[in-house]
Amino acid sequence: MTTQSPALGTTGTEEKPLQPASPDRGRRTPAPKLARGQANWGVKILLVVLCLLWLLPTVGLLVTSFREPDAANSTGWWTVFTAPFSNWSVENYRQVLLEEDFGRAFLNSFVITIPATIIPILFAAFAAYAFTFMKFVGRDFLFILIVGLLVVPNQVALVPLLQLYARADLVGTFAAVWLAHTGFGMPLAIFILRGYMQTLPRSIIESASVDGASHFTTFWRLIVPMSVPALAAFAIFQFLWVWNDLLIALLFLGAGDNIAVTVRLAGLIGSAGQGWQLLTAGAFITISVPLLVFIALQRYFVRGLTSGSVKG
């Protein structure tokens, strides 16, 4: 927040020179009064402690992924720090990566996830725009209906969908999964995007309409650019849900040429849970992708996008 006490507020409120130029510098409109780097020590310590607590479980998993099952079964993962790097092994990773077809499954997961992220965002952005800025009969009813559907567990849809797909001969095709994720992700996408759009200044849309811009133009030229943070946020969530999904990929794609990486990993497990340690390595291989997406899209969570538009 920019709100320092007046005395502090007058000193370096621009980005600290200490900060290396961030990749988003180009997008950042002047952003005059940022409180960058003004956190006091209390805040810094609090955040550091929180981060450590948040990381702790993941570190446990990371360490375990480098241990052999005998060791993981008999001693705690933190014991590796008393005898660092003894008994470390990349065996789990080797086994997962050398698994037949792992590369293809990895590639497939991209083919599944990218359209299954973009299509619902596109559909939902149009719908959210209509729900926010247009007036039409049944608007509130439809909105409540859509969001009410959020509580419907996806499992109830699996059987009817399989029947539908079997009839349309879609089982095993990417389109089957894209459409399923589009449908299942839609209520939340509409809900989140509308929640964001209603915080946008309505005056902009009204002035655009006075200037004679059609809704279609307003949508693409004004609302989409202004909603970038929310679009990016939802893109992250949808991406990682689809990326981590097992059940839909298993049912609608199965194990043919189009097998997803989650299905491939689940196939490493024996009937009594043998092989669970491979999943620790698998978890870190697969986690890397949504994490990179998050880091890449983070540049859109910046101040100044809306104020820029107001002025522009």
Partner 1 sequence: MKGRSTTKIAALSVAALFTAGCLSEGGDSTNESGGGDDTSDGSIEIFGAFGGGEGDAFNDSLEAFREESGIDIEYVSSPDFTNAIQARVRGNDAPDIAIFPQPGLLVDLAESGDLVALDDVIDLDGLKETLIPGMVESTETDEGSFGVPMRMAAKSIIWSPAPEFEEAGYTSPTTTEELLSLTDEIRDSGTAPWCIGIESGPATGWVVTDWLEEYVLRIGGEEFYNQWVRHEVPFNDPIVVEAAEQFAEIAFTDGNVLGGRGSIASSNFGTAGNGMFEDPPQCYLHRQANFITSGDFFPSEVTADLDSQVTVSQLPPADDAGPAMLLGGDWATMFDADNAEAVQVLEFLASDQFGGEWAGVGGWLSPHTTFDASQYPDETTRAIFQFAVDAETTGVDGSDQMPGEVGAGSFWRGMTSWVSGQQELEEVLDEIEGSWPEG
Partner 2 sequence: MIKIINAVLAVLAGVGGAMVLYFVLNFAVERLPGKWEHRIKPYVFIGPALLVIGVFLIYPAVQTFVYSFANDDSTEFVGFQNYTELLGSEAFRRTLLNTLLWIIIVPVVVVVMGMAVAVLADRLGARSEKTTKTIIFLPMAISGVGAAAIWGFIYASRPPTQDQIGLLNAVVVGLGFDPVAWLQIDTGKLNSLLLMVIMIWTQVGFAMVLLSAAIKSVPEETLEAARIDGANEVQTFFRVVVPQIWATVITVFITVLIGVMKVFDIVYTTTNGNFNTNVIAVQFFNELFTNGNNGYAGAIVIMLMIAIIPVMAYQVRHFKKQEAAS
- In the region spanning residues 186 to 245, those forming contacts with partner 1, defined by CB under 8 A, are none
* Residue 163 interface partner, choices partner 2, partner 1, none, CB cut-off 5-8 Å depending on type: partner 1
Question: Tokens in use for 206?
Answer: 């009204």
Give the footprint of partner 1 on residues 247-286 (CB under 8 A): 247, 250-251, 254-257, 263, 266-278
CB 285 within 8 A of CB 93: yes
Options 129, 178, 191, 196; binder of partner 1; rule CB under 8 A: 178
Residue 38 in contact with partner 2, rule: CB under 8 A: yes
Question: Tokens in use for 123?
Answer: 């559909």
- The nearest distance, CB 38 to partner 2, in angstroms, is 6
Number of Cβ atoms within 10 Å of the Cβ of 146: 19
* Residue 263 interface partner, choices partner 2, partner 1, none, CB cut-off 5-8 Å depending on type: partner 1
Taking contact as CB under 8 A, which single stretch among the options 38-46, 80-88, 93-101 is the one that binds partner 2?
Answer: 38-46
Give the footprint of partner 1 on residues 87-116 (CB under 8 A): 115
Residue 285 in contact with partner 2, rule: CB under 8 A: no
* CB closer to partner 2, 144 vs 166: 144
Residue 142 in contact with partner 2, rule: CB under 8 A: yes
Q: Give me the amino acid identity at 41.
A: W
Which region holds residue 21: left if phi is over 0, alpha if psi is between -120 and 50, else beta?
beta
CB 126 within 8 A of CB 191: no
Residue 252 in contact with partner 2, rule: CB under 8 A: no
Going by C-beta distance under 8 Å and a sequence separation of 6 or more, which residues neighbour residue 68?
87, 89, 91, 277
CB 146 within 8 A of CB 191: yes
* Residue 41 interface partner, choices partner 2, partner 1, none, CB cut-off 5-8 Å depending on type: none
**Cα–Cα–Cα angle for 235, 62, 83, nearest 5°?**
160
Taking contact as CB under 8 A, which single stretch among the options 80-88, 90-98, 192-200 is the one that binds partner 2?
Answer: 192-200
Going by C-beta distance under 8 Å and a sequence separation of 6 or more, which residues neighbour residue 52?
none
- Rounded Cα distance, 56 and 260, in Å: 29
- The nearest distance, CB 192 to partner 1, in angstroms, is 22
Options 27, 60, 93, 275; binder of partner 2; rule CB under 8 A: 60
- The nearest distance, CB 114 to partner 1, in angstroms, is 13
Question: Tokens in use for 221?
Answer: 């030229």
* Residue 86 interface partner, choices partner 2, partner 1, none, CB cut-off 5-8 Å depending on type: none
Helix or strand run (H / E) with residue 196? helix 174-197
Options 3, 5, 10, 73; binder of partner 1; rule CB under 8 A: 73
- The nearest distance, CB 170 to partner 1, in angstroms, is 7
CB 172 within 8 A of CB 278: no
